[in-house]
């Protein structure tokens, strides 16, 4: 018995973020690091786990360090994995409520528990500017308008919800668009103000199931269009998801429902 190995590795949880009644949300694996690890090791773990984002969470002083990896690259911002990390702190680790803070590549982000079971995180607002629709070529078919949103996102407005759901995207052609995120958006959708689909082949994701960081662009676009600082959004992916956003001067509060699918230990 003396030789029995009872040492466990880092704890992890699979969390579905932005779920709804018929929506399964976007899965993120949140890994609670007990010690610092090399970047190559973090990337390999994210590759092995294979979900759209793996969030690495580590206690730093009174706050938390948070990093996000797709199966192929580290990214500067991820909304659903930040929501998943907040869920783990509040619901799995029992961290007291109030404001929680994350040190990230996009600065310090905060999160909190809201009403009706929602939790919310603050993400940096993007400023949208009209661009020529030719920037997208024929990758999405006919689009009504296009907007540059920050340095890494393009927002493409399509005719309606049926058009959005019917998009057939050539991933290779979309890879040539000079943007990390291509957000197709329309007004309306089942029980929401706005519907979207998000494509990110440059990040190793042909289509993302639910994209919290897209709200950094969609919320300002909606406010410019309607004057409304709040909106509800459906992501019309195969898994589906529902998000709620509230626009502020410098940030967007993005909120949703979450659940833990399973938890365990990482033997790494």
At 47 the three-state DSSP class reads helix
Residue 34 annotated in active site: no
At 120 the three-state DSSP class reads strand
Tokens describing residue 52? 């759209």
- DSSP calls for 134-154: GGGTTTTSS-SEEEEETTTEE
- Catalytic residue (one of 21, 23, 34, 53): 53
> By C-alpha distance, which of 180, 164, 182, 179 is closest to 240?
164
**Residues forming beta bridges with residue 146, ordered by sequence position:** 131, 156
Please state the three-class secondary structure of 189-222 as a single string.
CCCCCEEEEEEEHHHCEEEECCCHHHHHHHHHHH
CA angle 60, 61, 65 (to 5 degrees): 20
Task: Say which residues have a Cβ less than 8 Å from residue 4's Cβ, sequence separation at least 6.
Answer: none
Task: Say which residues have a Cβ less than 8 Å from residue 162's Cβ, sequence separation at least 6.
Answer: none
Return the active site residues.
53
């Amino acid at each position: 018995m003396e030789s029995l190995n009872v040492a466990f590795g880092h704890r992890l949880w699979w969390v579905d973020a932005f779920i709804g009644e018929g929506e399964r949300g976007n899965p993120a694996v949140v890994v609670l690091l007990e010690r610092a690890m090399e970047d190559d090791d973090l990337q390999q773990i994210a590759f092995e786990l294979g979900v759209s984002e793996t969030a690495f969470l580590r206690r730093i002083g009174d706050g938390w360090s948070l990093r996000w990896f797709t199966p192929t690259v580290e990214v500067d911002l991820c909304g659903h994995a930040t929501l998943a990390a907040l869920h783990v702190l509040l619901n799995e680790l029992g961290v007291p409520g109030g404001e929680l803070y994350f040190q990230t590549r996009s600065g310090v982000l905060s999160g909190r528990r809201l009403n009706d079971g929602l939790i919310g995180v603050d993400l940096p607002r993007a400023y949208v500017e009209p661009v020529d629709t030719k920037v997208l070529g024929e990758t999405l078919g006919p689009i009504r308008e296009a907007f540059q949103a920050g340095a890494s996102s393009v927002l493409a407005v399509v005719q309606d919800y049926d058009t959005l759901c019917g998009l057939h995207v050539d991933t290779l052609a979309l890879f040539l668009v000079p943007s990390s995120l291509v957000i197709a958006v329309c007004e309306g959708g089942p029980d929401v103000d706005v519907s979207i689909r998000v494509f990110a082949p440059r990040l190793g994701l042909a289509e993302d199931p639910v994209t919290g960081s897209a709200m950094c662009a969609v919320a300002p676009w909606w406010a410019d269009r309607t004057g409304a600082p709040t909106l509800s959004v459906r992501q019309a992916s195969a898994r589906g998801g529902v998000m709620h956003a509230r626009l502020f001067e410098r940030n967007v509060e993005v909120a949703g429902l979450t659940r833990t699918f399973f938890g365990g230990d990482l033997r790494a």
